[in-house]
Amino acid sequence: MTEIIDGESVAADVRGAVADEVSRLSDAGVEPGLATVLMSDDPASETYVSMKQRDCEEVGIESFHVEIDADAPAAELYETIDDLNERDDVHGVLVQLPLPDHVDKRTVLRRVAPEKDVDGFHPENVGRLVAGDARFKPCTPHGVQKLLDAYDVETEGADAVVVGRSDIVGKPMANLLIQKSPTGNATTTVCHSRTEDLEAKLAGADLVVAAAGLPEFVDGSMLKAGATVLDVGINRVDADTEKGYELVGDVDYESAKDVAGAITPVPGGVGPMTRAMLLYNTVKAAGLQRDVEVDLE
């Protein structure tokens, strides 16, 4: 029987643990705070930011929000980040991506103070992750790691294939999977847009993390029987629904679930974990900045 990996339930556990830590911090005089910065007219980005604010509210994290006109000069964004870096009531600073073309993403990611970089995208935090000394793990791969742990997926010695090499998902995911850790020690192959014969790589994989942003492109016939499949993809496809679209993963769930040993659905798999790990990182950031120990696994 294929196990359906329930991200909603594991994310609820993470949120519960975070809420407990928020009240412990509050007893110690620390009110964790997350600032989101939006410089975009993209409705999807607006939705993501408002979901993050709602999530904060649910666990007792203070949330602050700054909106910058998408046409404003990049300097306005830099100044906003500098102000947030300085504020004592803000422990995490998240700049919602993507940014307008006239803004250099790299400069922005370097501008966020590494201690407040709850996305884990600052080069200092990327370096620490690679060195096996992570301060903040990027939320999506960290969420996948939590799912592997929650479902006791054996990664040691497993052949893992990560499809996608982005800085926010594929690369950090592969890094976590090769580390000497209970959810690491996997022999990991990173596939990308120039990979030849993806099918052959997938056919030997005990563990697949699909993060290419291509709707349902991994199907059951490409998977090894019993493989654990973590579908990171969130793709909008036209559908006969009220909204005119539906969300599907990078994996064709219907055919894959008959072959896989365990699989995440979309929605309800990795997505809720990404959101929960942001709260986790924010509380961790508050503890680090105020020198109060935070008890989160």
Instruction: Give CA separation, 59 vs 51, 54, 106, in Å.
Output: 13, 9, 31
- 143 marked as part of a ligand binding site: no
Q: Count H helices and E strands in the chain, helices first.
A: 10, 11
Q: Does 163 bind ligand NAD (CB under 6 A)?
A: yes
Q: Does 208 bind ligand NAD (CB under 6 A)?
A: no
Task: Pick the piece of the chain touching ligand NAD (CB under 6 A) from 79-87, 124-132, 164-172, 251-259.
Answer: 164-172
Contact 95, 81 (CB under 8 A): yes
Contact 296, 18 (CB under 8 A): yes
- 249 marked as part of a ligand binding site: no
Single out the residue of 34, 198, 202, 209 in contact with ligand NAD (rule: CB under 6 A).
198
Instruction: Give CA separation, 20 vs 47, 60, 279, 292, in Å.
Output: 27, 9, 12, 14
| 196 SS3 class | coil
Q: Does 218 bind ligand NAD (CB under 6 A)?
A: no
Q: Does 205 bind ligand NAD (CB under 6 A)?
A: no
Rounded least distance, CB 293 to ligand NAD, Å? 29
Rounded least distance, CB 23 to ligand NAD, Å? 27
Q: Does 174 bind ligand NAD (CB under 6 A)?
A: no
Rounded least distance, CB 291 to ligand NAD, Å? 31
Single out the residue of 164, 220, 265, 287 in contact with ligand NAD (rule: CB under 6 A).
164
Q: φ, ψ for residue 61 (rounded to 5)?
A: -85, 135
Task: Pick the piece of the chain touching ligand NAD (CB under 6 A) from 45-53, 81-89, 151-159, 233-241.
Answer: 233-241
Contact 172, 135 (CB under 8 A): no
Q: Does 223 bind ligand NAD (CB under 6 A)?
A: no
- Residue 96 appears among annotated catalytic residues: yes
Shorter beta-carbon distance to ligand NAD: residue 164 or 287 = 164
Q: Does 33 bind ligand NAD (CB under 6 A)?
A: no
Contact 185, 157 (CB under 8 A): yes
- Cα(100)–Cα(104) distance, integer angstroms: 8
- 63 marked as part of a ligand binding site: no
Q: Pick the catalytic residue from 55, 119, 250, 252.
A: 119
Residue closest to 148 by CA, chosen among 269, 24, 19, 240:
269
Contact 56, 282 (CB under 8 A): yes
Please give the torsion angle defined by the CA atoms of residues 71, 77, 83 and 89, in that order, rounded to the nearest 10 degrees: 90
- Residue 91 has which token pair? 């422990």
Q: Does 126 bind ligand NAD (CB under 6 A)?
A: no
Residues placed in the known binding site? 164-166, 234
Residues placed in the known binding site for NADP(+)? 164-166, 234
Active site positions, annotated: 52, 96, 119
Q: What residues make contact with ligand NAD under the rule CB under 6 A?
A: 140, 163-166, 168-170, 191-193, 195, 198, 211-214, 232-235, 270-271, 274
